[in-house]
Chains A and B, each alone.
Chain A
Amino acid sequence: MPPVLQGILTIVIGVGGCIGYFYASNLILDKVIFPAKGPKAGRNINRANQVRPWLFLFPAMFALGLYLAYPVVGSFYRSLFDRSGANFIGLGNYADLFSEAGFRTAVFNNLLWVLFVPAAATFFGLLIAQLTDRLSWGNIAKSLIFMPMAISFVGASLIWRFVYSANPDIGIINAIRDSMGLVALDPLQVRFWNNFFLMFILIWIQTGFAMVILSAALRGIPEETIEAAIIDGANPFQVFFKIKVPQIMGTILVVWTTITILVLKVFDIVYTMTGGNFGTHILPSYMMTYMFRDDGRATAVAFVIMILVLPVMIWNIRQARQEMR
């Protein structure tokens, strides 16, 4: 079967299936279970209307349950078994993890990422949003800064491999060192600092995201409050930090936490750039080293990541809901 036909068929089956489901389920509810006739017609209509929302919610809840809730429980169950998957070892995998130096490095690096990347991306995003606000070429600048958002993490990593290249004819860092008469070195092998070189790639990508959201938020500030502050004698810095930033604090926090969640999940950059060598592992890349070799251990790491993300996630959703109100 040619792929086009296959695609069309999928759409037809999918859409038709949805229509069929809603039509048939409502029909059964109204005609068979609670028929709107006979002595109890009124009560039946009320009951049918109480059930109806659940008919519409069911497909989404089913899909979420199957693809989200079940895997969480399943992963946790798997993490209680050893590498063969046959022997139950309780929390053994977790105990092993915490006693391992590699895991501790990954947690420490992850902490650095979580502290540094969202802060830097939000800061630069806010700075650029403010600086480009009144410029005639501000929109062009913003488009350029937003562009890395469209590049996959692997693609971005490949670009930055050139920047960090040990060859002074390719890498800019070594080109600068070379011009100063210093010996070429591989920045990605400089312990500790190499983490920041990797983080910088993600900051480069995420600044555009922060900038776009914060730029919209800055535009949403009532102009009069700024004018009132100017009349009150505030200088541009005071207007920015005491009037503008507090008014968009909610948005700043949403951007911050959204990037935080992303940071806790990102693994491609580390995987492509260093493969976790030279002390650059973070939890997701560390998990990758166990995947398919020791699934018990890998799922245990996955669970640790989930527990770390969860509070940020809950807080983020709450904040976003408040913003919407």
Chain B
Amino acid sequence: MADLKLTDVEKAYGEVKVLSDINLDIKKGELIVFVGPSGCGKSTLLRMIAGLEKITGGTLEIDDMVVNDIPPSQRGIAMVFQSYALYPHMTVRDNMSFALKIAKKSKAEIDEAVERAAEILQLGPYLDRLPKALSGGQRQRVAIGRSIVRDPKVYLFDEPLSNLDAALRVATRIEIAKLKESMPNSTMIYVTHDQVEAMTLATRIVVLAGGGIAQVGTPLELYERPNGEFVAQFIGSPAMNLLAGEVVQTGQQTRIRLDGGGTALANIPTTDADQGLKVNLGVRPEDLIATDGDDYLYQGEVDLLEALGELTVLYFKPESPGAPPILAKLGGIHTDLKGRSVKLKADPSKIHLFHNKISLLYR
């Protein structure tokens, strides 16, 4: 139930800066997801907000109060860890009431808070068990319960689902979504490397890369209007295809001639100065359509084929060995295409253009 404001936040270990220029405004009630490749600093940033890592530069404000030097317990945050971090020697009830006991709350108050959290998370029958007698999903629910009882301003989740198996992960993800819905005023920050979690849970996604923020936006904003090649390829699976080419016609729509021989029209405005500009054309595998016409974007031989029933993923033979292959996702079953030469086109509204790795939309 709080606003967070990060201003020029940075983290350095000695001389090495792992995070810098982090500027972020988080509004009350948002569920913000930090995503990024391994080692991009997303967990570090979360731990800095939690107070487990020192902030070496810039300021962090919670509800307009700078909390850089305030200990974790007084920041009004609660954290759910990847490994659950339950206290193994305490029962579920004791795990959940530990923070309140430390805060010297009355017995009645503690009992009420624990009962309420147990009800939300359906942990009632397990209150007197030790963590080792619980399944992974139940343990993670206890960890979440431990946060709920404290009624924090900000919930922090550090990859809470990555230790669960696939089925449980989906179930727990939905539970977290429901939990968020039942507490519309609570602010949550959620770290994950799983795109599906990011896309389904987030109010806004923060993509972190190379020690900084690459882009912030709603899940669909990032999908539809990535600001650069990195975000374009990071969001969406399989990743967006990139094809080199140059601008041959400018205006409200832009025509591109690709190095591979094809052409494409994009709904992206350009000026005369852009004539001949070297660009990378980005198109998602799911936006490619097979065509027989001469107006094709890409032509190649299908090297490998994954038939998933509802759709078929085509892997085209790369121009040079080792280059990333072009992928296309076609609806339905197309097993007959293996080894054949296929032409592909895409709708002008689905084309992205990048120059120097930056989207032409964000110049």
Contacts and interface: CB of A to CB of B under 8 A. Distances in A.
Given A222-B83, A231-B72, A238 B102 contact: yes
Interface string B99-135: 1001100000000000000000000000000000000
B87 interface: yes
A199 to B, nearest CB: 31
B293 interface: no
A323 interface: no
Given A227-B52, A246-B89, A232 B83 contact: no
Contacts, number: 60
A233 B88 contact: no
Nearest to A249: B89
Contact of A232 (B81, B88, B89, B98): B98
Given A233-B99, A233-B102, A228 B85 contact: yes
B87 A230 contact: no
B140 to A, nearest CB: 13
A305 interface: no
Interface string B69-94: 00111100111011111111110000
Contacts of B78: 231
Contacts of B81: 224, 227-228
Contact of B86 (A225, A230, A249): A225
Contacts of B202: none
Interface in A107-162: none
Interface residues of A, number: 17
Chain B contact-residue range equals 20 to 34
Interface string B121-155: 00000000000000000000000001000100000
Contacts of A243: 87
B85 A224 contact: yes
Nearest to B150: A232
A229 interface: yes
B209 interface: no
Contacts of A246: 87, 89-90
Which one of A225, A232, A243, A249 has the highest number of Cβ atoms from chain B below 10 Å of its Cβ? A232
A258 interface: no
B50 interface: yes
Nearest to B75: A231
A225 B88 contact: yes
Contacts of A233: 73-74, 99, 102-103
Interface of B: 50-52, 71-74, 77-79, 81-90, 98-99, 102-103, 146, 150
Interface of A: 222, 224-225, 227-234, 238, 242-243, 246-247, 249
Given A231-B79, A234-B98, 19 more contacts: A222-B83, A222-B85, A224-B85, A225-B86, A227-B79, A227-B81, A228-B146, A229-B87, A229-B98, A230-B52, A231-B51, A231-B52, A231-B77, A233-B73, A233-B74, A234-B102, A242-B98, A247-B88, A247-B89
Give the 6 A-B CB pairs with smallest separation, nearest first.
A233-B73, A224-B85, A232-B99, A246-B89, A228-B85, A224-B81
26 contacts: A224-B81, A224-B82, A225-B85, A225-B87, A225-B88, A227-B79, A227-B81, A228-B146, A230-B52, A230-B71, A231-B50, A231-B51, A231-B77, A232-B98, A232-B102, A232-B150, A233-B73, A233-B74, A233-B102, A233-B103, A234-B73, A234-B98, A234-B102, A242-B98, A246-B87, A247-B89
